[in-house]
Chains A and B, each alone.
Chain A
Amino acid sequence: MLQFQLWKKLLVVMVAVLGIIFALPNLIGGDDGAGVDFLPGKQINLGLDLQGGSHLLLRVDVDAVKQERLENTGETLRRDFRAEKIRFSGLAVANETVSLQIRNPEDAAKTNQIFTDLGNEYTVSNDGLTYHLAFNEAGLTAMQTRTVEQSIEIIRRRLDPEGTKEPVIQRQGLDRILVQLPGVDDPEAVKRLLGRTAKLTFQLVDMRISATEAIQRGRTPPGSVLMESASNGGRSYVIEKRVMVSGEMLDGATATFDQNNRPAVSFTLNAAGARRFGKVTGENIGRPFAIILDGKVVSAPTIQSQIFGSGQITGDFSVAETNELALVLRAGALPAPLIILEERSIGPGLGADSIAAGEIAAVIGIILVAIYMVASYGFFGGLAVVALTVNIILIVAALSALQATLTLPGIAGIVLTMGMAVDANVLVFERIREELSKGRLAIAAIDSGYQRAISTIIDSNLTTLFAALFLYIFGSGPIKGFAVTLGIGIATSMFTAVMVTRLFIVFWVERKRPTRLVL
């Protein structure tokens, strides 16, 4: 055991040097990691709980999309049936199914053709002349995937319009999205940005009936709906269902002020949108049209003249609101509403305090352990402390090299590993003591002490590694960070105890050639 082959010595030295190189950026780099470009490594990735930021788990409300898609399909069917001159009745969407009845049995062939043409994401069943259409499983999954992926894209454009913030936006499970946004000063603003779908449409106001009348009668003319105003206590409107222009046709949107110097959002339409808008406004001069955002009427100006490529949205806005509105309009509408399932936001101040406290705890912890080790084992204890220092350097290096995330529980994991890292040394030293007390000479005692302790060290560390592994698999966020540091700590502490301390002892033995040893 004391014959330490050259390659092992080289390995230890190499690992230690690599450790120092990879750990160095954390020590000498500035807060932003500048000035260390000549080194291969990067600084440790700090978790949101240390650097501040927002962690949001969102659910995409796919049910809303499903309903919308079925209603659209219902409208498509209505159009197609009319085009084919098939007489039908009772077209309705209920219980995630579109149903209708055809009048004449001889239309069945044409009806089947129309349903087939809808594509293969639906299942169609019929019961005599009554037809039912619903999503099949593959269609549902495809829609879910499409909706979630679109949502991720839109979220990215909303949260990181310049592409500089490095947010993590990941799909999780079927219909969830995990958002991790470092360095957020105002988490509420983030939630506001994600809290609206920002579905913008321009629709004509139905002048055949006033809103008051519609409310009294409890119904609206066919093809129209009743909509509330976006401002509190505002009036309601009867709006034609047909959409003139929708948000997808926007080319850009910026926050600005209207002629009365009130905050407003100006927009430009793309070519198709401009054509459509020009045509409809040209035909309806003098009529009001409604600007509708997320199902509420923002304003309903009267068309003064034909409008083509651009316009302004005015309403009851503050400057901050127009900035946010312009941003979400530019980013595009979310295909479905997002529901926040979990939020963890840490302010930057708390993160900095946590790092400071963690560093103090680590330094004090190391000093306490060092004093205790030297008091217990003297010179050998000192060697163990040096190995412990190497151990910590290696943990920092491994975290930096793997770009693993260091969280606050992760710091606790490091401090804890320090306590446990010396365990491997303690096992060896105690074993050497035992061998010495049996009357063996120094070198023989050291040799067999190491030999006997190694299987124990491996067994005991591997079992702890299991606990860390399951923490990693099942843990989330900070807990995962704890598992990573604990796991890395176990690996490095085994290495330092078995290799580094031993190397020191081998050097010492080779130079001093001791015959007697007091431990």
Chain B
Amino acid sequence: MRLKLVPENTSINFLKLYRLTFILSSLLVAGSIGLFAIIGLNLGIDFKGGILIEARHNTDPANISGLRGDLKVLGLGDISLQGFGTETDILIRIQRQDGDEKAQIAAIQLVGNTLGSDYDIRRTEFVGPTVGAELAEKGILAVVCALLAIMVYIWFRFEWQFSIAAILALTHDVLSTIGLFALTNFEFNLATVAAILTIAGYSINDTVVVFDRVRENLRRYKSYSLRDILNKSLNETLSRTVMTSVTTLLALAAIVIFGGAVLRDFAIAMIWGVLIGTYSSVFVAVGLLSRFDIKRGDDDDENGVEKPEYERT
């Protein structure tokens, strides 16, 4: 007995949902841009500059409210404290200090002294304002360059229509992930940029698998309408799409549950990415493809003309 999440020989008319999903995706992207513009991102110290200190109480649960009072009076400006992972651990975030880099280092020492010997400082991160701006610039550059390279590759391997559809689907994924971060107020840091690029990689992987099948079917079924070919290709690859998504989600779930606090946000972003990437490959990329006029290949296929399974029945 085999576990099959998708029954064999499905014949779902995915493109019938095109109008609905188009509206849905448009709302998602518009909403994400809106959220980004209105709420903005909760930028981590990587981009904003500032100080982050992770400390662990040597014996007892961390006294967060007590420490909050002790640290507030230091006059370091905006300080946030939160539990992190276990109850003995705390994460302290301090805004960028006025003045030069020396002022930042002084603030780190001040906090260290205040925590005293009961706490073990496990991690100190400090990013100065110049570096923060550079990291942000590099992050944006990385995402844009990756998208462009992918676009050129798809263009090279397929037709330009595929490339446009793929890149719009990817942009949809990237923007909606940014929207998710704006909505949930999750910290947006360097690891998030890595997550976004990985999401882009995963999503394009998914899209290319479907596109490959579309290209193959375009050659094989010359008499079919584009719509039928797209639907057929989606159905044929559906089982694989679901299978791969589930295995990746299983691995990610292991990270979320067991991988520790540092990786958790990264893995949660990736889970969202797998879901949105799978959705966008099916509905956005292929959906957009159905709106294009695609040149059909001339070369004959060795199998000749066949009818799709769902039309035989």
Interface residues of A (CB under 8 A from B): 49, 57, 59, 187-188, 191, 195, 339-347, 349-350, 353-354, 357-358, 360-362, 364-365, 368-369, 372-373, 375-378, 408-409, 411-412, 415-416, 418-420, 422-423, 426-427, 430, 433-434, 437, 452, 455-456, 459-464, 466-471, 473-476, 478-479, 482-483, 486, 519
Q: How many residues on the B side are at the interface (Cβ–Cβ under 8 A)?
A: 81
Interface contact B126-A368, CB-CB below 8 Å: no
Q: Is the CB of B142 within 8 A of A471?
A: yes
Shortest CB–CB separation between residue A353 and chain B, in angstroms? Answer: 7
Contact, CB under 8 Å: B122 / A470: no
A-B pairs under 8 A by CB, number: 236
- Chain A proximity of B169: nearest CB distance (Å): 12
Q: What's the minimum C-beta distance from A354 to chain B, rounded to whole angstroms?
A: 6
In the complex, A372→B122 CA distance in Å? Answer: 37
Cα of A426 to Cα of B247 in the assembled complex, Å: 10
In chain B, positions 125-151 with a C-beta closer than 8 Å to chain A are: 125-128, 130-131, 135, 138-139, 141-143, 145-146, 149-150
Q: Is the CB of A486 within 8 A of B154?
A: no
Q: When the two chains form their complex, are residues B194 and A471 in contact, meaning their CB atoms are under 8 A apart?
A: yes
Q: Hey, which chain B residues are within 8 Å of A415, CB to CB?
A: 251-252, 254-255, 259
Name the contact of B121 in the complex, choosing from A347, A364, A463 (C-beta under 8 A). Answer: A347
Q: Which residues of B contact A341 (CB under 8 A)?
A: 101, 127-128, 130-131
Residue contact A358 to B139, C-beta cutoff 8 Å? no
The secondary-structure label for the interface of chain A is helix
Residues on the B chain within 8 Å of A419, using CB: 244, 247-252
Task: Name the one of A372, A411, A460 contacting B208, with C-beta atoms under 8 angstroms.
Answer: A460
Interface on chain B toward A: helix, strand, loop, or mixed SS? helix
| Bound CA span A467–B252, Å | 19
Interface centre among A376, A415, A473 (most CB of B within 10 A): A415
| B interface residues, Cβ below 8 angstroms from A | 2-4, 8-9, 54, 56, 100-102, 104-105, 108-109, 112, 120-128, 130-131, 135, 138-139, 141-143, 145-146, 149-150, 153-154, 157, 190-191, 193-194, 197-198, 200-202, 204-206, 208-209, 212-213, 216, 236-237, 239-240, 243-244, 246-255, 257-260, 262-263, 266-267, 270
Residues B248 and A463 in contact, CB atoms below 8 Å apart: no
Contact of A466 among B150, B206, B252 (CB under 8 A): B150
**Contacting pair A368 B260 (CB below 8 A):** no
- Contact call A420/B244, Cβ cutoff below 8 A: yes
B105 partner, pick from A191, A344, A427, beta carbons under 8 A: A191
16 cross-chain CB contacts under 8 A: A188-B108, A343-B105, A343-B127, A349-B120, A357-B263, A358-B263, A415-B255, A416-B251, A419-B247, A420-B247, A422-B244, A427-B240, A463-B205, A464-B201, A466-B201, A467-B201
Once A368-B254, A464-B202, A470-B149 are accepted as A-B contacts, the answer to whether A412 and B208 lie under 8 Å apart by CB is no
The interface residues of chain B lying within 8 Å CB-to-CB of A343 are 105, 108, 124-127
Shortest C-beta distance, A476 to chain B (Å), equals: 7
Alpha-carbon separation in the docked complex, A415 to B5 (Å): 23
Determine whether the beta carbon of A456 is less than 8 Å from that of B56: no
**A430-B255 in contact (CB<8A):** no
Inter-chain contact A361/B100, CB cutoff 8 Å: no
Determine the chain A residues whose CB is within 8 A of the CB of B209 once the complex forms.
427, 456, 460
A353-B260, A358-B259 known; A422 and B270 CB under 8 Å? no
| Pairwise interchain contact A361-B258, C-beta atoms closer than 8 A | yes
Cα of A278 to Cα of B200 in the assembled complex, Å:
71
